[in-house]
Amino acid sequence: MSLPSTTSPQARFKGLWLPLVTPFLPGDETAVDHEALRALVQHYNATGIAGYVACGSTAEAAALSEAEHDAALSTILSAAQGMPVVMGVSDCHLGHALARVQTLNALPLAGILVPAPHYIRPSQAGLLQWFTTIAERSAHPVIIYDIPYRTGVVLELATLRALAAHERIVAIKDCGGDAAKTQALIADGQLQVLAGEDAQIFSTLALGGAGAIAASAHAHTRHFVELMQCLERGDLPAARALWQPLQPHIAACFAEPNPAPIKALLAQQGRMRATLRAPMQPASAALAQRLAGIQLPQLPSADGVAERRSA
């Protein structure tokens, strides 16, 4: 039996969503640094982002236990002070995924972010069953996470169009790498399309996409926010002027496996330690230096005075 829909025509996943990293304490047995996580969220609350994604791939969620997921989510919800939070739900066992969804139903989430089951590589019919069954059990809107290089399976356009008919499947984080499919989904208007590849933010939004879930926006956050606002109002010259200087930063953030470069940059800013959970390794010293050296043009503040640095 399906649950009543919590989705409405006003429910939108627009703008910039930040897929939060997970800070760890130092030591052989790393533990989540909740103090740093709380401070990180409180910092981003004032940057103009639309909301947060908790326990996604940037959070090293696959290396966290369910108890750690719960604790991190609790910290984020508390620190977000009412800002929307989407929770990642990733599994390859449908029963486990449904049990997780049932637990999350009681929490004040904006939605859940759900990829295809990893390793299984089901058929398109199996993918329809996977996402539909989860959506039927969820009290929250569902964002499809289309990321074939992690799951090993491609969500075909026909499958996504069929899933878009479900009242609780409302958006897609698009890491599919298929420009024609992206354009078709935007033209359909049935799913809100969020750029999941940071290098595709400009093109996705210029085509009419709703926003982005962007790991590189942990730094220069206000530049990303202003970029999206320019694109939304159709000011392409201003958007280009913001976008071009962001290219070296985005490229550096993914020059080594995510989220090591982002954690290195945040550590340089004093916001957290650069610790990662094995087998992830810290960013190289050369890349950390490269990231630290990237400077962006100043943005005007609300009173017209240029800000010295971007969040």
Query: Catalytic residue positions?
Result: 145, 173
Q: Tell whether 30 is in a known binding site.
A: no
> Can you read off the two tokens belonging to residue 167?
């009242």
> Directed axis angle between helix 179-188 and helix 157-164, to 10°?
20
Crossing angle between the packed helical segments 94-104 and 124-137, to the nearest 10 degrees: 30
Those residues with Cβ within 8 angstroms of residue 222's Cβ, 6 or more apart along the chain or in another chain: 47, 48, 299, 307, 310, 311
Partners of 211 in the β-ladder: 15, 194
The amino acid at residue 236 is L
DSSP code string of 271-298: SS-----TT--PPPHHHHHHHHT---PP
Phi, psi of 21 (to 5 degrees): -75, 165
The annotation status of 58 as a binding-site residue, yes or no, is yes
Can you tell me the distance from the alpha carbon of 88 to that of 140, in angstroms, rounded to the nearest whole number?
A: 12
In the DSSP assignment, the letter for residue 58 is G
The amino acid occupying position 189 is: G
| Best CA proximity match to 161, nearest among 194, 134, 185 | 185
Phi and psi at residue 15, to the nearest 5°: 80, -160
The CA-CA-CA angle for residues 64, 67, 73, to 5°, reads 85
Scanning the structure block, which residue is given the tokens 């550590």? Answer: 267
Judge contact between 135 and 142, C-beta under 8 A: yes
Do residues 146 and 174 make contact, with C-beta atoms less than 8 angstroms apart? yes
Rounded CA separation 183/181 (Å): 5
How many whole angstroms from its chain centre is CA 228?
15
Instruction: Extract the annotated binding site for pyruvate.
Output: 58, 213
Instruction: Extract the annotated binding site.
Output: 58, 213
